[in-house]
Amino acid sequence: MFGKKRMNLSSAGWFLLPYLLIYFIFFFLPAISIVPMSFTEWSIVGTPKFIGFENYKNIFSDRYFPKTLSNTFIYTILVTVVLTILGLLMAILLNRKVRGRGVARTIVIMPYVISSAVAGIIWRWMFERNFGIINTYLQQLGLPFIGWLSDPNIALYSIVIMNIWWSIGFNTVTFLAAIQGIPEELYQAAQVDGASSFQSFLYITIPQLKPIILYVTVLCAANSFQMFDEAYVMTQGGPLGSTTTLVYKSYIEAFKSFRLGYSAALSVVTCAIIIIITLIQMKANKRSDV
Amino acid sequence: MLKKYRMLALLLAFSLVFAACSTASETAKTADTASTEVEMPAEKTTIVFWNGVGAPENVVLTELVKEYNETNQDNVYVEEVILDWSTLYSKILLDFETGTPPDIMTIQQSGLYQNVDLGILADLTNLMPEYGFAKEDFIESAWNGSFIGDKQYAVPFDLHPLALYYNVGLFEEAGLDPANPPATMEEFLNAAQALTKDTSGDGTTDQYGLGLAYSGGLPFRLWMSLLWQHEGAEILNEDNTAAAFNTDAGLESLEFLYDLVYTYKVIPEQEQSPDDDFMKGIVGMVISGPWSQFDFNSVEELEYATAPLPVFYDQEAAWADSHMLALPDTKDETRMAAAMSFARFLSDNSLIWTQKAGHLPVKLSVLESNEFEELEKAQAFAVTLPNAHYYPSIKNESLVFGRDSNSPFVVLMESTLLNAMTPQEALNEVETMVNELLGQ
Amino acid sequence: MKKKRLSLLFTYVLLFLVTAYYLVPILVMVSTSLKPQGQVLSRTWEWIPRTFTVENYQYVLQQYPYLKWTANSLIVTFGTVVLTLIVSLPAGYAFARLKMRGKNILFSMVMLTIMIPFFAYTPQLYLLITKMGLKNTYWGLILPMSTSGVSVFLFKQFIQQLPLDLEEAAVLDGCSNWGVFLKVILPLTKPAIVTSVIFTAVKSWNNLLWPLIASSNDAVKTLPVGLSVNVFQVETGLSNQPPYGIVMAAALLSIILPVLLFVFLQRYFVQGIATTGLK
């Protein structure tokens, strides 16, 4: 039994070189500079002023920080869980050999093709409390208005709803592709053994898809932890800071308040948390291999 | 299978070559900072102009740029770049840092101090008289607004104060006289209440007197206007180091707006898009700047008129901002001269800007002209001009007067209008926030 | 037999409900784009426009160099997709099959691209690009966008789960690393390649922030930038409400190409099964 194929270093180098080259120049160098920048005060013009841990102190002593942090976590957990499960189920549904599945697939992914800004505008309009389409129909049914984007307790969840509509295409397509890679023989053998379709799902599909499920959850979590576009277009972080996420705050600090040092510190914190979340997921994935 | 790879390889090669060729030509072009359309003789000075006024008004400036390029005798060619404000304010810093700023750009009065403080803008005090700009020709507030300390940093171009828009048709239906719009607190409340009704007979109010959003920039600008209508009231103290709005005047103004929503119920709760609601005929009045005319004009069924902001308290006052033209400090005399010539042209043609974009002119000659008098809807704003107030000029303008949910005055209005805090609580909270920010 | 028909029916019903849910906002878009501005904001929502009009589309197409923006977007997207594939496929393969000290560290560095918000380093990237003379060029738009580790990650995961037998057989046949890669791996990763193409293309097509900062010049202006700056200000919270009719028309025009791309590519998902070639 061969282990992983052994590739000698030089040939591996050639495989990795092109990517690492542009990665280094156009990502790593600029990105790594946010760490030293987080210890300074800088408004883009002039030289950064060193201020030690001041920015970090300010982040944790900001009265709105706990709310921002919890917003981000709640959003991330909800979106990741729902999108992963839903994406998988949708992929299975759209994989069935039925007529019109091509059309269905296209419709499901169409939202993702729309830019987040436009999707945000559409939903912002649909969600409008007094005269948006959803509340209008609710009113006709005799139900009270819901402040989808204007009620501080609901706004964040409304964004979750919008995001599910918008980005499920990503997960669905990914899972679809992965399902194609599962050899048909496995299912046939299982059928011969008398397994039900649910059992096939549990004992063949899921284990086969493990690497892709990890891929999807890691990406989902990382992306949703960095939620920004929706908050920017639909609620500007409100009402009352209920949809302000770490990244949104970081953006405002950088491009509206021109406090790049503070913004960099926020980015560092955000990134650190994402790294931790990702490591946890990867560990959990490895564990379940046993 | 091999065939497919051949295709892929060909596509690849093609795209790379294509991109490379286009890049080569693009870099060559941008190196010359020349436009792709017009050929110009080598002696012309080319300057770059950042048009940040935003859609839909930007087209008016673009037309003026074109006209200047075709007719000017100064031997100048203007290359226009269209941006939105957000990008403009960030990019100017980035481009200044890399030594490639534009030669002239639009700027708002509210953004002036910050950019001057960062050293971005050139001191125009001596250039202004050279190009025929004199204090006597301009509205005082606009002229003064272009100064930081005793140095002048921009050419005032327009002023846009807040005023009252009202729906003529709905006024008539409610028994109000459209020729006599509300001018006092009492008249205003009267009108608002007359306009608030249940038009469909189902027991719920579906028409309201006034439209006011709970977040964004406008609510707190309105509150500031009300504050300034109190004699002696200010947002910040004299040297702009501390908040001065947590007073009876501030409280009274805030409570008034709160009452409009919750006591008199003439403003819909949790309203997001007052301008839209005005266009739909759902609210009878809305308070906004001249920029709203563009959209309102596009709705044929909407018959509306404008009036100066009512005097709710002691004196007339309304918030305003201005568009101005500033020159980044490139220290290149030839280009700065060219930029000033262009600024001169724009200023001379500010009537066109007013006619097509709606913003108010700041030059007395234009305000007194016949053509301006003909602009019916603009008159209400013109009346307000002498009493227009800018934000206090401070370094952290974007921090203190920002418009996103975390900014102090947005917190003030959101908390109040969404009934999350009492007006006094909100004022206390925001006073602390502002003092913190000013202290930095 | 009955069981099979029931499950088929169930599938159809589910499919129908799902597509209905996804269609509603899109229908809202289409409907709005066909209404004249005055009617867009009527008190009651009407699915069928009272007066059909194409004036919004005309406005967008005539007032603005829409085609030029689209062409720029095409060039940048195409370049990004191609470059991403070229660099990410070999890298993904290496990470999947490589045995090397420090591989995990290297891979974690790649994952950093997913974990740092893009605009966190936008100013520095912009300064770098300007110094390299790439401001306002196509390469200035393509290169930074091809550093994303998303595709590398995808390929790694995908290739990892491919059975080793084929590669071992090829090596025994005397194939070099590149040979194995080209002849064995690539054909098998087609679904993943298609997936990567779709995402990279969509992301690049809709990318607003970077082209906005890095190339506001008319020559290389891409579609989203042109739309958001010239046509409607997406910057919200202001008193300027976007003119919805025009916004929707512009949006619809801009998604035609990506949707076509997907329609064209999605049939590869079916072909995938046939090529797992364990035979």
Probe site for chain C from A1, A25, A114 (most C CB atoms < 10 A):
A114
Distance CA B119, CA B326 (A): 12
Q: B42: alpha, beta or left, given left = phi > 0 and alpha = psi -120 to 50? A: alpha
3 state DSSP class of B300: coil
CB contact under 8 A, C121 and A31: yes
CB contact under 8 A, A149 and B272: yes
Instruction: Report the run of H or E that residue B189 belongs to, with start and end.
Output: helix B185-195
Omega before residue B56 within 30° of 0, cis = yes
| pLDDT at residue number A288 | 72
Which class does domain B2-159+322-389 fall in? alpha beta
Probe site for chain B from C35, C37, C40, C41 (most B CB atoms < 10 A):
C41
Distance CA B215, CA C193 (A): 45
Query: Which of B280, B398, B406 is opposite residue A237, by nearest beta carbon?
Result: B406
Please check whether residue B163 is in contact with residue B289, taking contact to mean a CB–CB distance below 8 angstroms.
yes
Burial of B126 (0-12, 13-18, 19+ CB in 10 A): exposed
| pLDDT at residue number A6 | 54
Could you tell me the CA-to-CA distances from B126 to B47, B104, B133, B148, C182 in Å, in that order?
Answer: 20, 17, 10, 14, 70
Q: Which of residues 21-80 of B touch A (CB under 8 A)?
A: none
pLDDT class of C1 with cuts at 50, 70, 90: low
Using a CB-CB cut-off of 8 Å, the residues of chain A touching B216 are: 236
- Rounded to 10°, the helix C66-97/C150-160 angle is 40
First to last CA, chain A: 19
Joined together, the tokens standing for residue A176 give 């679809």
Distance CA C130, CA C145 (A): 16
Residues in CB range of B409: below 8 A, 6 or more apart: B220, B223, B224, B400, B401, B430
Could you tell me the CA-to-CA distances from B194 to B164, B170, B188 in Å, in that order?
Answer: 16, 10, 10
CB contact under 8 A, A115 and C87: no
Using a CB-CB cut-off of 8 Å, the residues of chain C touching A113 are: 202, 205-206, 255, 258-259, 262
Q: What is the mean pLDDT of residues A14-18?
A: 88
Nearest to B159 by CA among B135, B139, B137: B139
- Rounded to 10°, the helix A65-95/C2-33 angle is 130
CB contact under 8 A, A102 and C168: no
Q: How close, in Å, is residue A178 to chain C by CA atoms?
A: 7
Residues in CB range of B407: below 8 A, 6 or more apart: B399, B400, B401
Joined together, the tokens standing for residue A206 give 């899921």
Distance CA C111, CA A31 (A): 13
CB contact under 8 A, B100 and C43: no
Using a CB-CB cut-off of 8 Å, the residues of chain A touching B398 are: 256-258
Residue B79 pairs in a beta bridge with B48
| pLDDT at residue number B7 | 45
Joined together, the tokens standing for residue C224 give 């989203």
Q: How close, in Å, is residue A287 to chain B by CA atoms?
A: 39
Please check whether residue C96 is in contact with residue C156, taking contact to mean a CB–CB distance below 8 angstroms.
yes
Domains and CATH numbers, chain C: 1-53 (no CATH), 55-276 (1.10.3720.10)
C73-104 pLDDT per residue, tens: 999 999 999 999 999 999 999 898 877 777 88
Residues of chain B with pLDDT under 70: 1-42
CB contact under 8 A, C117 and A100: no
CB contact under 8 A, A121 and C254: no
Burial of B170 (0-12, 13-18, 19+ CB in 10 A): buried
CB contact under 8 A, B26 and C229: no
- Looking at residue B58, its amino acid is N
CB contact under 8 A, A44 and B396: no
User: Could you give phi then psi for residue B51, rounded to 5 degrees?
Assistant: -100, 100
Q: How close, in Å, is residue C162 to chain B by CA atoms?
A: 19
Joined together, the tokens standing for residue B315 give 């004196």
Q: Any CB–CB contact under 8 A between C261 and chain B?
A: no
Nearest to B190 by CA among B285, B280, B270: B285
Which class does domain B163-320+405-438 fall in? alpha beta
| pLDDT at residue number B162 | 94
| pLDDT at residue number B26 | 41
| Contacting partners of chain B (3+ CB pairs under 8 A) | A, C
Q: Any CB–CB contact under 8 A between C46 and chain B?
A: no
Q: How close, in Å, is residue A255 to chain B by CA atoms?
A: 6
Please check whether residue A48 is in contact with residue A261, taking contact to mean a CB–CB distance below 8 angstroms.
yes
The DSSP output letter for B197 is B
Go through B44-65 and write b for each residue having 16 or more CB atoms within 10 A of its CB, e for each that does not: ebbbbbbbbbbbbbbbbbeebb
- Any long-range contacts for C10-13 (C-beta under 8 Å, 24+ apart)? C11/A93, C11/A96, C11/A98, C12/A98
Chain C: residue whose CA lies nearest to B50? C216
Probe site for chain A from B121, B405, B432, B433 (most A CB atoms < 10 A):
B405
Using a CB-CB cut-off of 8 Å, the residues of chain C touching B86 are: 235
Q: Any CB–CB contact under 8 A between A140 and chain C?
A: no
Same fold, B2-159+322-389 and B163-320+405-438: yes
Q: How close, in Å, is residue B131 to chain A by CA atoms?
A: 30
Using a CB-CB cut-off of 8 Å, the residues of chain C touching A244 are: none
The answer to whether the pTM exceeds 0.95 is no
Tell me how many degrees the CA angle B1-B4-B6 measures, rounded to the nearest 5.
115
pLDDT class of C232 with cuts at 50, 70, 90: low
Distance CA B32, CA B38 (A): 13
CB contact under 8 A, A149 and B215: no
B162 versus C60: the higher-pLDDT residue is B162
3 state DSSP class of A138: helix
Distance CA B65, CA B37 (A): 14
A217 versus A169: the higher-pLDDT residue is A217
B189-231 pLDDT per residue, tens: 999 999 999 887 777 788 999 999 998 889 999 999 999 999 9
pLDDT class of C233 with cuts at 50, 70, 90: low
CB contact under 8 A, C138 and B279: no
Chain A: residue whose CA lies nearest to C160? A211
- Looking at residue B98, its amino acid is T
Using a CB-CB cut-off of 8 Å, the residues of chain C touching A275 are: 115
Distance CA A22, CA A5 (A): 27
Residue A237 pairs in a beta bridge with none
Query: Which of C133, C142, C233 is opposite residue B84, by nearest beta carbon?
Result: C233
pLDDT class of A98 with cuts at 50, 70, 90: confident
Probe site for chain C from B6, B7, B16, B23 (most C CB atoms < 10 A):
B23
pLDDT class of C244 with cuts at 50, 70, 90: confident
Q: How close, in Å, is residue C201 to chain B by CA atoms?
A: 15
CB contact under 8 A, B276 and C133: no
Probe site for chain C from B12, B18, B221, B295 (most C CB atoms < 10 A):
B295
Query: CB-hemisphere CA count at 13 Å for B431?
Result: 14
Domain residue spans of chain B: 2-159+322-389, 163-320+405-438
Nearest to B425 by CA among B435, B415, B433, B417: B415
| pLDDT at residue number B325 | 96
Probe site for chain B from A37, A134, A247, A257 (most B CB atoms < 10 A):
A257
Strand spans (E) along B60-140:
76-82, 104-108
Chain C: residue whose CA lies nearest to A239? C237
For the residues of C209-266, what is the DSSP string, one character each?
HHHHHH--SGGG--HHHIIIIII-----SSS----HHHHHHHHHHHHHHHHHHHHHHT
- Any long-range contacts for C17-22 (C-beta under 8 Å, 24+ apart)? C18/A90, C18/A93, C18/A104, C18/A108, C19/A103, C19/A104, C19/A107, C19/A108, C21/A165, C22/A107, C22/A108, C22/A110, C22/A111, C22/A165
Q: What is the mean pLDDT of residues C52-59?
A: 85
- Looking at residue B141, its amino acid is S
Could you tell me the CA-to-CA distances from C42 to A63, A116, C80 in Å, in that order?
Answer: 42, 26, 42
- Of chain A, the percentage scoring pLDDT greater than 70 comes to 95
| pLDDT at residue number C100 | 73
CB contact under 8 A, A121 and C247: yes
pLDDT class of A192 with cuts at 50, 70, 90: confident
Query: Which of C98, C117, C237 is opposite residue A226, by nearest beta carbon?
Result: C117
Q: What is the mean pLDDT of residues A61-82?
A: 94
3 state DSSP class of B301: coil
Q: Any CB–CB contact under 8 A between B93 and chain A?
A: yes
- Of chain C, the percentage scoring pLDDT greater than 70 comes to 87
Distance CA C59, CA C266 (A): 33
Using a CB-CB cut-off of 8 Å, the residues of chain B touching A239 are: 214-215, 405, 414, 418
